[in-house]
Amino acid sequence: MSPHDPEVYARSVGLDPAKLPRHVAVIMDGNGRWARARGKERVEGHARGAKSVDEVTEECCRLGIGQLTLYCLSSENWKRPKPELDFLMALLKQYLLAERARILAQNIRFAVIGRREGLPDEVLAEIDENVRLTRGNTGLTLCLAINYGSRAEIRDALAAIAERAMRGELTPADITEDTISDALDTAGMPDPDLLIRTAGEMRVSNYLLWQISYAELWVTPRFWPEFGAALLHDAFRDFAGRERRFGGLTPGGAA
């Protein structure tokens, strides 16, 4: 096999390619605390966190991971100071423009989940362009959760299903878990196998609540700007050692 083959690369860094997660979701936490601990402004933590996004995305491509979903901006983050929000929007636009060529070169399919309301028009335009240009790509799906909140997503999905019912397209008996999944922002995407959270917080923060029902959780005390390929490998090794039962029993019959 080629030395650039994902399986060869995985083994070269001590990972079992057969035990890697297919879909990795990340709560990127601790940018502000990382900056504050170093006497820097919070915005410098966000800028450094963008470098971690690059490194983790690159590593997922090398390992042949199917999807990486990153929690970039929650619907609750609008409560932050306006200068910080303005910086985040400018950073997002810069990222979308600066990374476009690399995303295309690496065969990455770009996707976004979350409500569009409130995002600047120039940011929406760059999002739409990246989605359009990469629609036919077949490598890693890089999904950014921007202005995203899972409760709002589920509310919107249920409202859409209710409208279908009112039009006579389905009855309550027709509604299955697949009906709901297909109405979510993540329709057509696999559920996450692994949820990584940085900065040591032990909560899921309104992130992919429906989709992570059976995801494995991995939390590190390290802040997101400190996260890179080595910590990603640690998470994957721990994941490989988990026994995923999905509510069932082990082969020996233990719960």
So which residues are the catalytic ones?
Answer: 29, 77
143, 127 in Cβ contact below 8 A?
Answer: no
Q: Which two tokens stand for residue 28?
A: 């990127």
19, 64 in Cβ contact below 8 A?
Answer: no
Q: Which two tokens stand for residue 199?
A: 């900065």
Q: Which two tokens stand for residue 225?
A: 């700007």
User: Is residue 40 packed enough to be buried (19+ CB in 10 Å), middle (13-18) or exposed (0-12)?
Assistant: middle
14, 63 in Cβ contact below 8 A?
Answer: no
